[in-house]
Structure 1
């Protein structure tokens, strides 16, 4: 929450490879990967330090998402889905 009581809004950058791979997933796989990304966004305390080389991986029931952080959001570099 911000000092105004409104939730923070974060940005997500997807690499070109991630965008293309998401387009190739079936609907249930795409939905799950996007849900994992949304879960990452609402938990900025679990992000690696912004602007560095450190990354993190978060897992869903049948998927994972690899990302780095920058001031104001995350960059998703890779994901996997076991469908």
Structure 2
């Protein structure tokens, strides 16, 4: 079963400003590997931007987004 949100589909529902902010938040989460939960585990991490959030689980090659949003 695929748990990760289809990021492209979720981003398509946001206005341009929201898409940009969510993508920036995802990029910040990707480079902060010290904030990732143990790869392959069931724990998720939350990463917050100014008006955005991204919940993700870690894998050996990156992150899988399980929830994201924009409060704009």
Work out whether the TM-score is over 0.5: yes
Mapping of residues 23-42 of structure 1, within 5 Å = 23-42=12-31
Q: CA RMSD in A?
A: 1.1
The number of residue pairs the alignment matches comes to: 69
Using the size of structure 1 for normalisation, the TM-score is: 0.78
- For 1:1-83, list aligned pairs within 5 A: 15-16=5-6, 18-83=7-72
Distance 2:9 2:61 in 1: 24
Q: From the CA coordinates, give the structure whose radius of gyration is larger.
A: 1
Partners of 2:34 and 2:52 in 1: CA distance: 21
CA distance in structure 2 between the aligned counterparts of 1:54 and 1:42, rounded to whole angstroms: 18
Measure how far apart 1:15 and its partner are: 2.4
Consecutive unaligned residues of structure 1, counting only runs of 5 or more, are 1-13
Scaled by the length of structure 2, the TM-score of the pair is 0.89
